[in-house]
Structure 1
Amino acid sequence: MPDVVIRKFGLSVEEVFHEGGEPSPTPLVRAAAMAVIQNPFAGRYEPDIEGFMDDLKPLGIQLAERLVATLGGVENVQGYGKGAIVGGAGELEHGALWHVPGGYAMREVLGNAMAIVPSTKKVGAPGTRLDVPVTHINASYVRSHFDAMEVGMNDSPRANELLLVLVMTSGPRIHARVGGLKADAILGKDGLR
């Protein structure tokens, strides 16, 4: 398969203290690590693309490690998600190549994460924004951790590029109060509950 050609990295960090209620003494931290890479399949239909997922695995690990360092260690990570924006000369399926290397990288770096990593992807022009969904790392039904982070880069992706994203968060939404499974009640057996 082709080499992974990186044009640039990006890191975006948000610290949220309140959403209209009393400020929290500890902010929710949302962080996104991004990589803009050349799309080796841009401009043509290639029937056999699956092997490129293996080539992306080291990049997934690198981005996941950057996020863990940004959040101050594995013990500070409670939520995650992933996404991809495909440049205009590519196709949506090229963004799907990020599912395995992005998701498994975060699980590997975090150690014991059980939940499926939520994902989104789209085709877009430079400057396109993407809302990356987030759920709890060990149980997808923990409502307090249903969240999203908007990401993007002003010059990316160019037509022949992919913008690949991993997101991690430090906890629930600020002022979460819509009930459901609580994080301290997770059974952690199947990644759902």
Structure 2
Amino acid sequence: MPEVKIRKTLVQVETVYHEGGPAPETPQKRAAALAVIENPYAGRYVDDIAPFMKDLEPLGAQMAQQLIDALGGDAAAVEGYGKGAIVGVNGEIEHGALWHVPGGYAMRDAIEKSKAIVPSAKKVGAAGTRLDVPVTHTNASYVRSHYDAVEVGIPDAPRPDEIVLVLVMTTGGRIHARMGGLTKEDVKGEDGLR
């Protein structure tokens, strides 16, 4: 199996105090962890790439913990999550899909109440490509207040033979969310949907 070769990492934290209305009691925090890795399959077609997912598991666990730490160290405070990948131009979109399992399950394992599917976005792009990573509630995908996205990117990544792997966590829904529907207080937590 290929070894995971990391060129650089980045953790960013955004604190949202208000969105033009009254400030909430607690500001929302949104954090993203990015890892720029060598793409072991760049420039060629390889039929069986799935084993690389196992190699990515430790990186997923490390990035999930980095996010929890960046948000204050309390996994119970995490209410939203998402994941993504930007594949360099010598790779293919399927190489980004390798992040689904190790990235998603790393976050779900680190957060106690996390039955909801982890939304994802991926694309192939040049260095500096930006990605909007979708976010939903960790325990119930139908909580509308947590439908969101976090934009990420690194000016010099991905290089043609690299992949930028991304995990995102938030401490709450959108500031001033008021579009109705299921609220986080009414989540039953039975099926990841409601």
Give 1:52-131 correspondences, 5 Å limit.
52-72=52-72, 73-131=74-132
Letter in 1 for 2:71: L
Whether the 8 Å contact between 1:126 and 1:154 is mirrored in structure 2 is yes
| Structure 1 runs of 4+ with >2 Å offset | none
Q: What SS is found at the alignment partner of 1:60?
A: helix
Distance in 1 (alpha carbons) for counterparts of 2:10 and 2:37: 12
Question: What CA RMSD, in Å, does the superposition of the two structures yield over aligned residues?
Answer: 0.7
Distance in 2 (alpha carbons) for counterparts of 1:132 and 1:80: 9
Whether the 8 Å contact between 1:34 and 1:166 is mirrored in structure 2 is yes
Letter in 1 for 2:67: L
Letter in 1 for 2:192: G
Gaps of 5+ in 1: none
The percent of aligned pairs where both chains have the same amino acid is 65
Structure 1 position 110, deviation (Å): 1.0
Distance in 1 (alpha carbons) for counterparts of 2:122 and 2:76: 28
Gaps of 5+ in 2: none
Alignment: residue pair count: 193
Whether the 8 Å contact between 1:17 and 1:25 is mirrored in structure 2 is no
Counterpart residue number, 1:26: 26
Q: What SS is found at the alignment partner of 2:133?
A: strand
Give 1:140-159 correspondences, 5 Å limit.
140-159=141-160
Q: Could you tell me the TM-score, scaled by structure 2's length?
A: 0.98
Whether the 8 Å contact between 2:76 and 2:112 is mirrored in structure 1 is no
Distance in 2 (alpha carbons) for counterparts of 1:25 and 1:142: 20
User: Is 1:133–2:138 an aligned residue pair?
Assistant: no
